[in-house]
Amino acid sequence: METIISAMKQGRTSLGIEFGSTRIKAVLLGENLEIIEIGIFDWENQLEKGIWTYRLEDVWEGLQGCYADLAAKVKEKYGVALTTIGSIGISGMMHGYMAFDKHDQILVPFRTWRNTMTEEASKELTDLLGYQIPQRWSIAHLYQAILNNEEHVGEIVTLTTLAGYVHWMLTGEKVLGVGEASGMFPIDCNTKDYYEQMIQTFDAKISSNNYAWKIRDILPKVLVAGEKAGSLTSKGAILLDRSGALQEGILFSPPEGDAGTGMVATNSIRVRSGNVSAGTSVFAMIVLEKELKKVYSEIDLVTTPEGNLVGMVHCNNCTSDLNAWVNLFKEFAESFGMNVDMNQLFSVLYQKSLEADPACNGLLNYNYFSGEHITGLDSGRPLFVRSASADFNLANFMRTQIYSSLASLKIGLDILLKEEQVSVDTILGHGGFFKTKGVGQKMLAAAIEAPVSVMDSASEGGAYGSAILAAYAQNHGRSLSEYLDQVVFANQKSETLEPSQRDVDGFAEFMKRYQKGIEIEKAATIYFEEQ
């Protein structure tokens, strides 16, 4: 206790703050990288005029609420007011579109990763650059706005992501970590910067529009892990801590996206390592030994926070539908006057799935709250289907929900692991999906037909990874991969589950039914759009 108090008073700490899809989380680490305390603020996106967005006032209310929760917990537990921190790292939902004018005012509402309205731009840019440009990437959103002749484009001075925006407001620096930057515009892993030839190709493509800017002018500067990315300004200190206790001058690490911080949180930045982050969305990251043989629409190429090439499978939908069903069971229990603990309810239902038929016995589910590019859907409708003869019980139902959360991911990973023969030594799972011990882990192992490990810190996810990157920026003296191996995870405990052949065969049988039934989901999107 005395050691932790001393570290906090003297600023021998690091803080990671991550803007997740449904929760903003702050993780404060001590000088030995132990978790001192966690702050939380729940928030939710809105669908406004057909666009998934978060209002800027919600960003700041959420950041301040999250930090205040952390500070209050620290004060209560340790009797210390947080006045300084060794370093801070900001992370956020990857990519999307935030465009600002010369007065630093946002030009159009924040367009998040969840939107699937940039298909035309995505296809044109992929062909133009010879590089897969996903719909959620910032450059796809920008080019779609150009194709749509949106008036605001000519006024753009700054283009950034959520992590980049928050970092900019707190420090005054328009920068991004290389991993997050690789989702704005393709990165050359040799230079750790935007591909210069692609920059020139894009500028030439839009030259007839006669904008006052070139693409490099409006993109953030690219930094790699360990570089100093500015410090907390007096204005930023008030934006973060409304109490006024926090002092300016605190060092910041380069802001990263949740993909990069997830890799750090699971020690998955070395070649042939990989991780799966599963929450509202789900994505897998595998650090590649070499470039892929061809361009795949299902596979994104991004980088680690050090700038090494990563094959990424990203799916918009993971646990939102599953969570909705669990809330329904909660409402049912409360109707009988029961006081339901959500953590216990999730655990009981997850554990129940272990009793199920490995192929779910005729049950089928599509968890699409939004579109899913891997299965060719621009919009989604949550959908549960069963045959009349199916064994419709709770165990099979819950296993179907969990399988559905991983099904789209499996389609993309099969391309990497089977078609491209990408070698991977270890896959680590993290995020809320893995919180119930052994269940999500077991299902993922069946899906990818490979061992899956989960660390003790798995459920803390990217906020923990962001705090580690902040600590690394203070005084590292070695590569990030060495820092993670030798300092952060030297004594970290993890558990590994091998896939059982019975589960592998069951998931494969489920996937045959799942892919055949995509036509049902497509019909549902048409039907509900017409109502």
- CB count within 10 Å of CB 367 equals 30
Give domain status of residue 165, yes or no: no
What pLDDT score was predicted for residue 529? 67
Residues 84, 247: contact at Cβ < 8 Å?
Answer: yes
Give domain status of residue 82, yes or no: no
Q: What is the CATH number of the domain that holds 480?
A: 3.30.420.40
What range does the domain containing 336 cover?
Answer: 320-373+383-408+501-530
Domain shared by 450 and 483, yes or no: yes
pLDDT band (50, 70, 90) for residue 356? very high
pLDDT tens digits for 251-268?
999 999 988 998 998 898
What is the rounded average pLDDT of the residues 326-348? Answer: 95
pLDDT at 111 over 70: yes
Q: Which amino acid, residue 45?
A: N
Helix axes 2-9, 56-78, angle to 10 degrees: 140
Residues 159, 98: contact at Cβ < 8 Å?
Answer: yes
Domain shared by 350 and 396, yes or no: yes
pLDDT at 106 over 60: yes
Domain shared by 301 and 436, yes or no: yes
Measured in whole angstroms, the distance separating CA 72 from the mean position of its chain's CA atoms is: 27
Give domain status of residue 208, yes or no: no
Domain shared by 429 and 453, yes or no: yes
Domain shared by 298 and 435, yes or no: yes
Domain shared by 282 and 314, yes or no: yes
Domain shared by 469 and 364, yes or no: no
Domain shared by 394 and 514, yes or no: yes
Give domain status of residue 511, yes or no: yes
Domain shared by 487 and 358, yes or no: no
Give domain status of residue 335, yes or no: yes
Q: Which two tokens stand for residue 225?
A: 């892990």
Domain shared by 446 and 487, yes or no: yes
Q: How many domains does the chain divide into?
A: 2
pLDDT tens digits for 54-104?
999 999 999 999 999 999 999 999 999 999 999 999 999 888 999 999 999
Enter the pTM of the model. 0.83
pLDDT at 530 over 50: no
Mean pLDDT of the chain: 93
Distance CA 99, CA 80 (A): 39
Give domain status of residue 275, yes or no: yes
Give domain status of residue 419, yes or no: yes
Domain shared by 506 and 493, yes or no: no
pLDDT at 338 over 60: yes
Three-state SS annotation for 123-159: HHHHHHHCCCCCCCCHHHHHHHHHHCCCHHHHHCCEE
pLDDT at 498 over 70: yes
Q: Which two tokens stand for residue 514?
A: 């799942």
What is the rounded average pLDDT of the residues 102-127? Answer: 94
pLDDT band (50, 70, 90) for residue 459? low
pLDDT tens digits for 143-184?
999 999 999 999 999 999 999 999 999 999 999 999 999 999
Distance CA 358, CA 393 (A): 13
Domain shared by 420 and 468, yes or no: yes
DSSP calls for 389-444: TS---HHHHHHHHHHHHHHHHHHHHHIIIIIS----SEEEEESGGG-STTHHHHHH
What pLDDT score was predicted for residue 425? 85
pLDDT at 457 over 80: no
Give domain status of residue 195, yes or no: no
